[in-house]
Amino acid sequence: MQTALLLPVIMTVFLVGIHAASMAHAGHVASVVAHRGARVAAETAGRPAGILAALNEMERVSHDLRGRPPTSLGVRFDQSTVVTEVRLEVSAAVPFLGRSVLRTARVSREDFLWLQDR
């Protein structure tokens, strides 16, 4: 009788722990991907080819760390910064908990001065 009452509680705690670990891993991967993409985009000083290079780098890093493609990637340039957004989804171990992780990174753009402009 006690086992029949305790087993669902133990299984719920176990599945919530698995889900929390999966979300923590996805959050870490999303953070690394966002920072790497922002760094690559900042190094290109906002050129259109740099945006494509940043998106390709973000997908490559995500694949290397997790093996699943991100749900969405975004690169945005402000006046002096680059902002990247990464959203990853995880498998639902517990259906009533969240399934996606969103991380952003902000890096200052690198502005290069030619020798004659200094």
In this structure, of 20-29, 33-42, 61-70, 75-84, the range with the lowest mean pLDDT score is 61-70
Q: Element (H or E) spanning 13, and its range? A: helix 2-43
| Two structure tokens written together for 40 | 């690559």
Share of residues in the chain with pLDDT > 90 (%): 24
Q: What is the pLDDT of residues 44-98, one digit of tens each?
A: 766 777 888 888 899 999 889 876 778 888 888 887 888 999 999 888 778 888 8
Full strand arrangement of the beta sheet holding 100-108: 72-77, 81-89, 100-108
Q: Is the pLDDT of residue 1 over 80?
A: no
Q: If you average pLDDT over every residue of the chain, what do you get? A: 85
User: What pTM was computed for the model?
Assistant: 0.81
